[in-house]
Structure 1
Amino acid sequence: MNLIKTFLLLILCTLFITACGKAENTSTSNSSKKEESIETKKKLNVKITLNKKIKGNKKILISGKSNLPKDTALSIDLKCPKCSTYYYDFSTDVNVQEGGMFDYEFSNEEGEEFEGGEYIAYVETSPENLQPDHVREIFGKNGANLAGSNVSGDNDRVATAEINFKIKNSSKVKQKSKKDNAAEVTNKKDEELSTLKSEAEYEIESIVEDNYKAASIEKIEINQDMSTDQDNKLIALVYLSFDFKNSAQTSYNMVEMFSDDLASKIGTDNNTINQIAVFWKVPYIDEDETLAKFSYERSGEQMKITDKVSSLN
């Protein structure tokens, strides 16, 4: 009888040890899968554009547009390396708002004017330990998932952007002639137009990269629409490549669908673009020639097709 009890006890111990081993393996496997999923998370191709606005030489507004997730912690530095006054070295922390926007307004104590000189505003994503959990998950360990021209660093990767601008001395500003004022208005318009062009290019690039996995961007040209009396109206020339191997007819159907969708999204999202033309190459059919072109023009809040030319169908 004692022999039977001993035998049963050995069987129970064996089953218990086996179960524990499986549980530990399962736990280790789940942990490994979780770590692997974080490490192999899709890369974030970071895009950041900065703008500045100077208010009477007393306030400097630095604003930015990005594709960073909401609540991303940033630091903004404002410096004037050659200014004679030592305190022109500001630093502040901000968080990215909905839609990737952020801004901060710098000012001197007691409302003093900023000294004339060349200024630099520099934006950088804050260290990993200052980011909220959902941002750290997107960025990856030490920013491993961050990519693009706005990202730097080998081990601790960060996203950065900077803008350089000049502030003129107040005494010179007050003595400006009518000619100088006219030139300033022209420069301001040119600067505003340049900003609108950059924003339009950014929006088109984002739409293509986020929605059309079978396509890649060759180049994007944004020009002023000279056919209208309205200020700051643009024409977009978008050169794309269809990279998936298909028949000529299927390729035509796909590039036509992509072009219609791009024009529709731009018509809704950006009212500065009056016309858009989309040019397509299909490298596996012809590496050099443009094989399709689709042209659209604005009609209210939408874009309507005005011309389509293709040798694919």
Structure 2
Amino acid sequence: MNLIKTFLFMILCTLFLSACGKEDNTSTSNSSKKEEIMENKEKLNVKITLNKKIKDNKKILISGKSNLPKDTTLSIDLECPECSTYYHDFSTDVNVKEGGMFDYEFSNEEGEEFEGGKYIAYVETSPENLQTEDVRAIFGKDGTNLVGSNVSGDTDRVATAEINFKIKNSSKVKQKSKKDTAAEVTKKKDEELSTLKREAEYKIESIVEDNYKAASIEKIEINQDMSTDQDNKLIALVYLSFDFKNSAQTSYNMVEMFSDDLASKIGTDKNTINQIAVFWKVPYIGEDETLAKFSYERSGEHMIITDKVSSLR
């Protein structure tokens, strides 16, 4: 009887120990699964897509959309291995905005166009020490929580993305640039010529008004000298009136003297004037007629007489 009781007691113990072992195994298994689930929840499957926008071949805007947390610091590199002089530019302080958006604009100094060729824009999450505390908490130590096709590295894991594109040197853009340049040069020359004309007219007015009290100005015309290849050379046509009553011969002598003196002063002081012609009216002899004309042209720093016509003598 005692033997039977002992046997039954041993069976009960065996069953109890077996049940406890299964419970422990089940508990351990459930705990591992829970830890695995929690670990998976902490992983960030990074997704980054890039776009580019080229503005008149002078600016390149790289923009991106991602699921990276706000304030993630990125570096963006732009390279052109095919350029005649290897091109490389980068920024290390691009921050992700709300909603995972980010952008950066590249441009050359002095607004120059980008050279034609194949360009590569490359984006990478910055090192851990450059990230905020909140971003580091999400990324994990050395980026261990970053996963996905956009993530690389065994120890220091980083999220990356790149976009390849070409820039063509448009002939239309070049032609437009050449036309604009030619127009600017022409405009500048026209402005210089206009300034010289005004200065020449003012100089002639001053000489006449300060030196020839018997004369008055009818009009002054300043034209470009088209007979020379030199820029900014002028022809002055000066219309004067001799207002003092004198004999025809005396009037002639006076207008000739005034004309020679004017040409002499212009020749010395205003070397932009290549030629000058002085036309004279003498109202008390012929009210509306031009009674004398004296023509001069430049010879070095002087003006020499080339023609004189008068009906006063």
Regarding TM over 0.5, the answer is: no
TM-score where L is the length of structure 2: 0.44
TM-score where L is the length of structure 1: 0.44
Structure with bigger gyration radius? 2
